[in-house]
Amino acid sequence: ISICRDLPNIEVITFSVNGISDLEPLNQCQNLSELYLRKNNIASLNELFYLKNLPQLRVLWLSENPCCGSDPHRYRMTVLRNLPSLQKLDNQAVTEEELSQALVDGEEITAPPARRNVENGCPESTESSAAESTTETESELLNFSLEETNKIREELGMKPVPRDKFSSFSPRETDCNQKKRNNVLNAILLLMKELDAEGLEIIQQTVGRRLQALRKKELQEE
């Protein structure tokens, strides 16, 4: 998620199911309109402090994080009190009545969290990550990740990834290195949106050379 510090013009960020706990790198993303952070390790709603000054933020998916707690009403009211410009929270439309009620039932967040104990991008243990993954079916997780990735590709004018080609991106994988690889892939796709024609041509040439080298290596190993 630290890559976001270098993407001030990014509009859509998808980092669901990635062990993220710290939202500070997002506070400079002034054009961010959609943020998908479902099922991470965000422990405190005080992390919303870093999102309060993002004027374009309209969609937030934060459910299934520890910060949601056991009281869904309090959680939703607190999010809406601090982010009143949201139009959709956790895939549910925000109403004017909720925004008014949030001023009464929600908690105002005026400072960031005092401490963070979980390393971004990798859960504390593969055991805890594996235990969390049992709460949903593998199919549901795969569909969710596929939907989010294809949304990014649509923004870039790219063709969607077929389901049968998407298995390697499945969030059921608990290995930290694999999750980092997936984060790098999404970051590259998002960065491509910032490039002009000349930059994209450089990327195309570099990728071509890299693929040739990998194929040559595979032939040698065979």
- Please give the mean pLDDT across all residues of the chain: 77
Calpha distance 178→182 (Å, rounded): 6
pLDDT in tens, 42-79: 999 999 999 999 999 999 999 999 999 999 999 999 99
Residue 127 CB contacts under 8 Å (≥ 6 apart), including other chains: none
Distance CA 120, CA 49 (A): 17
Burial annotation 155-190 (CB, 10 A radius, 16+ → b, else e):
eeeeeeeeeeebeebbbbbbebeebeebbeebbebb
Task: Identify the H or E element spanning 61.
Answer: strand 59-61
Unique residue bearing structure tokens 């993002």: 54
Sequence-distant (≥ 6) Cβ neighbours of residue 21 within 8 angstroms:
40, 41, 42, 43, 116, 117, 118, 119, 120
pLDDT tens-digit readout, 7-39 = 888 888 888 888 888 999 999 899 999 999 999
pLDDT digits (tens, 9 = 90+) for 209-218: 888 888 887 7
- Prediction pTM value: 0.57
In angstroms, what CA-CA distances link 103 with 23, 50, 100, 108, 208?
23, 19, 6, 9, 55
- Annotated domain spans of the chain: 2-105
Residue 164's region, left for phi above 0, alpha for psi from -120 to 50, else beta, is: alpha
- Residue 132 buriedness (CB in 10 A; 0-12 / 13-18 / 19+): middle
Residue with tokens 């195309």: 204
Q: Which CATH class is domain 2-105?
A: alpha beta
